[in-house]
Structure 1
Amino acid sequence: MGTLSPAESGEFIVKNAKFLKINEQGIKTLVKEVITGVRTKLIDVDNFSQHEYHPKSTDIFATNWIFLVDTLNFCFWTPGNATKWKVEGQTGYFALCAAVNRALKDGINITNPTFYSKITLPELEQILRSDDGQTKVPLLQERVQCLHEVGKTLLQKYDGKFENCIKACSNSAGELLKLIVDEFPCFRDEAEYNGQQVSIYKRAQILIGDVWACYRGKDLGYFSDIDRITMFADYRVPQVLVHFKAIQYNDQLMTLLKTDKLLTNGCPEEVEIRGASIYVVERLKEMVIAELKANHPDISVKHVNAVLLDHFLWDYRRKHATELEYIPFHKTVSVYY
């Protein structure tokens, strides 16, 4: 029995879910938010490149920068009241971007796999040093291992350039996804659920989505099948989906999450939350496109895809962080997200 794609996995997981259910009315409420977001340019392919921390498509190191950052883009949360890891006042993903950009300014060839395939733990610790000089990024040893793994393969098979991985896939996001999870095991985000091997592929898909967004869907970022990429199932976007009642946790799951107990990567509760997130955003995409075609012919559906919907939902969570704290998020220590 083969591994289901992320979209297939989302559907399979929702059909067999024991700890949550999907509410179509909640998804319809989200459709209105998305339509407003498209109209106001909150949802726009240009937003990625316009962010101060992201590379421009004209930067010669852009694809290797994106590959490096998405190799390290996992598990930034800290338990309880522990001090958050911050760089340039940023937390999480943007702290990582800031640290990588700081290293480049300092003359460190951080985006070059020749460097990071042999990076030592003290070297990476220095590169990812926090503003307070004391707080360390979580899973530092695991980050070193990921860099060694991907760096060696990139050097041995792709001349040290992630763009060669992209070019090998003939403008197919599906083929690139397969290449990434086959060649770089630390991106192979899979689980067994209800007797079936399912895939989430958060970091592998966000890697493709970031390339697509950086190049605005053109040149190296042109993928004829970008719609095969689903949202990037993490531990924060589900908060937004629960807030809008698109996903409803049962009492057992909600009680478990409120205990702040760590969930094992691959456990049924965790897989259901992530799989349901994929399913809901796929439904959201379908419903938004149908609504735009039916009632908003002036708005192009060309760039309405799961990549931009995920960006929108993730940004929504950041903007409404305090408001959404009433919804507990699942906590899992993992290199996959």
Structure 2
Amino acid sequence: MSVSKLNPRESGEHIVKHAQHVRVLPAGIEKLTQEIVNGLKERRISVENFSQHELHPNPNSNQEDNSGAADWVFVLDTLNFCFWTPNNYTKYKVEGYTGYFALCAAVKRAIKEGVDVINPKFYSKIDLETLENIFRSDDGETKIPLIQKRLEALHEVGKVLIEKYNGSFENLIKAADKSAVRLLELIVEEFACFRDEAEFAGKRVSILKRAQILVGDVWSCYRGQDLATSRISNR
């Protein structure tokens, strides 16, 4: 018998209702809400901040290394998972950055070095040694966490893009027909590594965190300006 799958909003409600060891405190939600509102008012939180960050692609820039912004964003979010290290371990750092931004720094460094890291034809067949060199750390010893999983993810998504979308994530965006919801569905349908689902309390729940981040990052990067044939709405 198949288990019905809940979307992320339904999943959150179901998990909260049936959780035995974790509680969501209303006071915490209120505190976070105020922090977000204040961040928006003070412009610490803004969609403009994405492309303004030196480690993110900016499609409005004339710099040569900002070509293929959508494919660049796709690679970043394909690999945007698990940077956690225990307190007594050395943190993974690239050019002084830790966590997600260390990943961004490594990808941008590779592009500057002439590595075709945002091309599916390259990363669908990349070997572990090459990937380890791309993500080499400042100290030359600390490894990016879960390097094998990242290798597998790149192989998986690269093959799908080559076989079904002529080797470009931009074509998948266009297939979404200007709909953010449809883009989310396509990402989850096409790429298993973006499909964070599990069975919990009799239901199949889904979080789809990175898929939602990817949709948001694409919009934040372009804001409906450069990728004219694939502007994303909230429908």
- So what's the TM-score if we normalise by structure 2? 0.90
- Partner-residue secondary structure (3-state), 2:23: strand
**Distance in 2 of aligned mates of 1:129 and 1:179:** 32
Q: Is the 8 A contact 1:212 1:218 kept in 2?
A: no
Give the aligned partner of residue 84 of structure 2.
77
Give the aligned partner of residue 335 of structure 1.
none
Give the aligned partner of residue 197 of structure 2.
190
- Partner-residue secondary structure (3-state), 1:22: coil
Q: Is the 8 A contact 1:84 1:91 kept in 2?
A: yes
- Partner-residue secondary structure (3-state), 1:197: strand
Distance 1:19 1:50, change over 3 A: same
Is 1:128 matched up with 2:154? no
- Amino acid of the residue matched to residue 94 of structure 1? F
Q: Spell out the pairing of 1:283-294 with structure 2 (5 A cutoff).
A: none
**Distance in 1 of aligned mates of 2:205 and 2:109:** 38
Deviations 1:165-220 (A, max 9, x none): 11101111221111111111111100101010000111111111110111135554
Is 1:169 matched up with 2:171? no
**Distance in 2 of aligned mates of 1:28 and 1:207:** 26
Aligned length: 226
Give the aligned partner of residue 113 of structure 1.
120
- Partner-residue secondary structure (3-state), 1:21: coil
**Distance in 2 of aligned mates of 1:196 and 1:86:** 39
- So what's the TM-score if we normalise by structure 1? 0.64
Q: Is the 8 A contact 1:149 1:184 kept in 2?
A: yes
**Candidates 9, 12, 18, aligned match of 2:11:** 9
Give the aligned partner of residue 224 of structure 1.
233
**Distance in 2 of aligned mates of 1:40 and 1:167:** 34
Structure 1 gaps, min length 5: 227-337
Q: Is the 8 A contact 2:91 2:98 kept in 1?
A: yes
Q: Give the C-alpha shift of residue 142 in structure 1.
A: 1.4
**Distance in 2 of aligned mates of 1:75 and 1:24:** 27
Q: Give the C-alpha shift of residue 84 in structure 1.
A: 1.2
**Candidates 88, 92, 102, aligned match of 2:95:** 88
Q: Give the C-alpha shift of residue 121 in structure 1.
A: 0.3
Q: Is the 8 A contact 2:59 2:226 kept in 1?
A: no
**Distance in 1 of aligned mates of 2:99 and 2:172:** 27
Distance 1:26 1:82, change over 3 A: closer
Give the aligned partner of residue 48 of structure 2.
46
Higher RCO (Cα < 8 Å, 6 or more apart): 1
Aligned-residue CA RMSD (Å): 1.6
Aligned-pair identity in percent equals 59
**Distance in 2 of aligned mates of 1:134 and 1:102:** 18
**Candidates 220, 226, 230, aligned match of 1:213:** 220
**Distance in 1 of aligned mates of 2:209 and 2:33:** 23
Give the aligned partner of residue 295 of structure 1.
none
**Distance in 1 of aligned mates of 2:87 and 2:45:** 33
- Amino acid of the residue matched to residue 57 of structure 2? P
Deviations 1:75-111 (A, max 9, x none): 1122341111110011111000000000011011110
Distance 1:219 1:103, change over 3 A: closer
